[in-house]
Structure 1
Amino acid sequence: MADHDIATRAPESDAQESPAPAESPDESGPVMSEHCTTDRPTPSGEAPKGEIRKLGGIDVYLTKPESYPSNPSKLLLLLTGGTGLKSTNNQIQADRFASEGYVVVMPDLFDGDPAPNSTALPESETLATSLLETFKLKAAETAKSFLLDMWMARHTEEKILPILEKVIHACEGEFADAVGNGGGIYAVGYCIGGRYVLLLASERNAGQTSWTGAQKQPDEEAGEGQAPSRKGPFIKAGALAHATLVSPDDFGNLKVPISLVCVENDPVFPDEVRTAGEDAMSKSNLEHEVQVYPGVPHGFAVAGDYADTNIKEAQATAYEQMLKWLNDH
């Protein structure tokens, strides 16, 4: 992973500068943003309303409309970035969708192991004023990058997708009314969670070792000439914001309507990946929408307080975009 810039300023200042061109994934490996792993300050006056409990043997944050189950609701999976299940901001984001009539299940994708430095980021940070301070900060940033590389190696799709399948199966049982009322399960995802919305929206061969990986050897009992069974999609429609670790291949087998919230000049979700995804969805006649938000940092769409009014307005607009997409499908 390429070294990140020294974290010596408030995140919204990132939006005021032109980021360096993203390196090719083939050359640099997967990259993540500080905003995928660190929360903004919690919005004033807001606190989580749901509960953490087990569902299908997996820890989830569960939040429901106040009128449920008296009034019909729909089932929504919310897939987080690296800040994970216990992030207050992620829980508040889930509550916002619950207030709009969704039973929201936010699974612990990382099995109790959120990304390093998943703590609230101060509203402002003091610039380093000496060479020694700069050196210390650079050394700390290099260490964080190493820890993040190790964390990503622990949490691959081979680990996360089985978690999601367990949760989906449990939702289809316990919340069959909400799944049925919506005609399926909906999903929203932020940062890392955004990529898993794409994977849940895809169809693959059941024999694949991973969603984009190689095929397993043919099963002799099943017969060499037997066509591989298909698996997925698992959701009815999906919306994702500033996705992370996405490759063009992740758009290749999409089967359900998708809405994308993107950041202009985002080095973590570069333009070439976005345009390749748009081309793939257009060629397959998949219903989709893509909105690019200028002047905002990666991670802006997750609940969190920003001093910059433009970022606050973009955050509200992105939420409305995602909500409308779910409601319309």
Structure 2
Amino acid sequence: MSQCCLKGFKWGGQPQGKETEVNGQKCYVTGSNPDAAIIVIHDLYGWTFGNTRLLADSYAAEVGATVYVPDFYGGVVLSADLVDNPAEWDKLNLPNFMEINSKAVRGPEMVAFAKHLRTQHSKIGAIGFCYGGWAVFQLGAKSESPLVDCISAAHPTFLTKDEISNVGVPAQIIAPEIDPQFTEELKTHAVTEIPKIGVPFDYQYFPGLSHGFSIRGNREDPAEIKGLERARRAAVTWFKEWLVEG
């Protein structure tokens, strides 16, 4: 975890969903499709981050799904004001934060949440941003009874080669050129190994853009606007194919 996981921009706009509790988790919910659902697994800024909720609203409206943004940080929320205030980043104890929110700690919560949604919806997708990227690959792991029907990972953090190689459902990766977390080695592994598995695979590459662009991109920068909109459309198209039309 590095400063690339903190930097970015807050977007304007008012989220349209509601805060509630789902399977014991605080959760932002938007949309109302009883059949298709999408789990959004947040980045470092957690489930309350306005940008994340705005994207969830977009998926709900354009895919036609019920979209869930659960709290997978145990009630701890980093202030959204940090996103464009690098002078405050050094005050954070990120190693401790990530220890509290490690894969071993939060992974079982995510699995339990997905299992619960399986009792509520017939089709489930999952998209993870940054921190959430490793999580969707674990939810989409090979299984006789998959937890989800498809996944999308945008500039994933903490993702391993083994997690990539173990994917068992249709997988999409949104990959910026400049990314110290989703490295060139991991990119090469993904595009080499996932096609061998035999699952549908969509690799979306964004030259010139950096880690975090699809969730914290600068809406005043033409290149980032183009990139984050393309990333959003790609995820919408992916989920439509596997959750609604497939």
- TM-score computed with the length of structure 1 as normaliser: 0.68
In 1, Cα distance between the equivalents of 2:82 and 2:15? 16
Give the equivalent residue in structure 2 for 1:276: 189
Give 2:24's match in structure 1, choosing from 57, 62, 66: 57
Give the equivalent residue in structure 1 for 2:147: 234
Give the equivalent residue in structure 2 for 1:10: none
The one-letter amino acid of 1:164's match is M
The one-letter amino acid of 1:314's match is G
Say which SS state the counterpart of residue 320 (structure 1) adopts.
helix
Shift of 1:118: 4.5
Shift of 1:326: 1.2
Instruction: Calculate percent identity across the aligned residue pairs.
Output: 23
- Does the CA contact (< 8 Å) of 2:134 and 2:156 recur in 1? yes
In 2, Cα distance between the equivalents of 1:197 and 1:141? 27
Say which SS state the counterpart of residue 295 (structure 1) adopts.
strand
Runs of 4+ in 1 over 3 A off after TM superposition: 140-144
Give the equivalent residue in structure 1 for 2:112: 166
Alignment of 1:1-329 (within 5 A): 32-38=1-7, 40-43=9-12, 46-64=13-31, 68=32, 73-100=35-62, 101-115=64-78, 118-122=80-84, 143-144=91-92, 147-173=93-119, 176=120, 179-180=121-122, 184-203=123-142, 233-302=146-215, 305-329=218-242
Say which SS state the counterpart of residue 215 (structure 2) adopts.
coil
C-alpha spacing 1:273/1:88, structure 2 compared with 1 (3 Å): same
Shift of 1:283: 2.0
Please identify the structure whose Cα radius of gyration is greater: 1
C-alpha spacing 1:118/1:250, structure 2 compared with 1 (3 Å): farther
- Does the CA contact (< 8 Å) of 1:295 and 1:311 recur in 2? no
Structure 1 unpaired stretches of 5+? 1-31, 126-136, 204-229
- Does the CA contact (< 8 Å) of 1:37 and 1:118 recur in 2? no
- TM-score computed with the length of structure 2 as normaliser: 0.89
Shift of 1:158: 1.8
Question: Matched residue pairs, number?
Answer: 241
The one-letter amino acid of 1:281's match is I
C-alpha spacing 1:105/1:98, structure 2 compared with 1 (3 Å): same
C-alpha spacing 1:93/1:35, structure 2 compared with 1 (3 Å): farther
Say which SS state the counterpart of residue 14 (structure 2) adopts.
coil
C-alpha spacing 1:164/1:141, structure 2 compared with 1 (3 Å): closer
Shift of 1:286: 2.3
Shift of 1:233: 2.8
The one-letter amino acid of 2:118's match is E
C-alpha spacing 1:288/1:239, structure 2 compared with 1 (3 Å): same
- Does the CA contact (< 8 Å) of 2:173 and 2:202 recur in 1? yes
1:78-131 CA deviation, whole Å, 9 max, x = no partner? 11101001111111111111112110011111111235x653534x98xxxxxx
Task: Give the helix-richer structure, 1 or 2.
Answer: 2
